[in-house]
């Protein structure tokens, strides 16, 4: 099983889109373990959205869709509703 995920940094209003076969460890890596890379400078992250897929190829297709202009707009709208409503 593969998970496409969206991380959100409320502190910096940044999003990160990725996929993994182990969401728990990948999230830990983004928030604590990694010492370099894009996500390090925007910590802390919260998981804003996830979708599961049975194959890597399906997950990659969805990741690409979410990284498109329309996909990012979908994510921004969802984050705006989810996080502004809860004041995170």
Q: What is the pTM of this model?
A: 0.91
pLDDT of residue 16: 98
The three state secondary structure string of the chain is: CEEEEEEEECCCCEEEEEEECCHHHHHHHHHHHCCCCHHHHHCCCEEEEEEEECCHHHHHHHHHHHHCHHHHHHHHHHHHHHHHHHCC
Domain count across the chain? 1
What value does the mean pLDDT take over residues 6-12? 96
Our CA angle for 3, 7, 11, nearest 5°, is 170
Query: What is the residue range of 76's domain?
Result: 2-86
What is the rounded distance in angstroms from the CA atom of residue 6 to the CA atom of residue 8?
7
Percent of the chain predicted with pLDDT > 70? 95
Domain holding 37: CATH number? 3.40.1440
Residue 45 has pLDDT above 50, yes or no: yes
């Amino acid at each position: 099983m593969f998970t496409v995920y969206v991380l959100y940094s409320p502190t910096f209003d940044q999003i990160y889109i990725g996929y993994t076969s182990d969401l728990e460890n990948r999230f830990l890596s983004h928030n604590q373990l990694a010492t370099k890379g894009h996500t390090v400078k925007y910590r802390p992250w919260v998981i804003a959205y996830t979708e599961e897929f049975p194959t890597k190829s399906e997950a990659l297709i969805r990741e690409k869709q979410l990284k498109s202009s329309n996909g990012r707009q979908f994510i921004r709208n969802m984050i705006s509703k989810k996080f502004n409503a809860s004041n995170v």
